[in-house]
Amino acid sequence: MSREELLNRFTKAFEAKLQLKIEFRGETTYTIAASDLRLVAKFCRDELSFDYLIDITSIDNFGEEPRFEIVYHLYSMSDSIHLRFKLKVPEETGAVDTVSDIWPTANWHEREAYDMMGIKFNRHPDLRRILMWEGYPYFPLRKDFPLEGLPSEIPDIAFTKVTPMEGGPFVTVPSTATSKDREPRARPPEL
C-alpha cells in the first residue's frame, strides 16, 4: 500500500473525528480527541498495519489549556510508512487511556510520560515511576519545574541541596570555539 493510499484510508475512516491534519516535509500529523485514542490506535494496527509504536512523547504547553499534548509515532514495517497522531490532555484530568495492550512497547513510554510529566494512563497494567524513585513528589519535565531542581530530603539518592548550574559537568563554557570544542566531555579535567 502506498503512503497516499494509506493516508486516504485513515482520513476516510476518521474524517469526522480528525481535528487537524498537518503536512510538513513529507510527514503527516493528525490531531484527534483523547476519547478516540483507542479506536484510532486499533484501526492503525489492525487495518493499516502500523505494527510498530516507535515512541510516545509528551509536551507541556504551560500557560495554555489544555496543558498537555501526547504524540504517538507509528511505523508500518511492511509498508515503510510513518504516521504521527497527537491529542490534547487537560491538566485537571491529566489522564488518557493506555495503548499498552495494543502495542506492548507503549508500557515503558507511558510510564515515562507519567514519571516526567504526571500524565496518567487509565487501565495501564503497571503505572509506576520508571526514572524517579517512588514517592518523588514532582514531575521534572514540566515547564514549571525549576531548572536548578528542587531540594530533596532523601540522602544518597539525590542532591540534598539545590544543585548550582554554573560549573556543572554538562554546562558549556562560553567562548568563540565550535560547539564540539565547548562540549564538556571535550575539555580536559580540571586539576
Residue 125 lies in a domain: yes
What CATH code is carried by the domain that includes residue 114?
A: 3.30.460.80
Amino acid at 17: K
Note the pLDDT of residue 156.
54
pLDDT for position 141: 93
| Residue 189 domain flag | no
Task: Give the E-state strand segments of the chain in sequence order.
Answer: 20-24, 27-32, 52-60, 68-76, 81-89, 95-97, 120-122
Residue among 113, 116, 121, 158 nearest 141 (CA): 116
**C-alpha grid cell, residue 27:** 510527514
Flag whether 120 is in a domain. yes
Cis, bond preceding 140 (omega within 30 deg of 0): no
- Answer whether residue 171 is part of any domain: no
Q: Does 109 fall in a domain?
A: yes
**Residue numbers of the domain that contains 110:** 3-150
Q: Chunked in runs of 10, what are the mean pLDDT values of the chain (191 residues)?
A: 90 93 90 96 96 96 95 95 95 92 96 96 94 85 82 58 51 66 58 49
Q: Is residue 163 part of a domain?
A: no
Tally of domains in the chain: 1
Contact criterion met (CB below 8 Å) for 74 and 53:
yes
Residue 146: inside a domain? yes
Give long-range contacts, CB 8 A cutoff, 24+ apart: 6-9.
6/48, 6/76, 6/79, 6/81, 6/83, 7/83, 9/47, 9/48
CB atoms within 10 A of CB 54: 16
Q: Is residue 48 part of a domain?
A: yes
What pLDDT sits at residue 188? Answer: 60
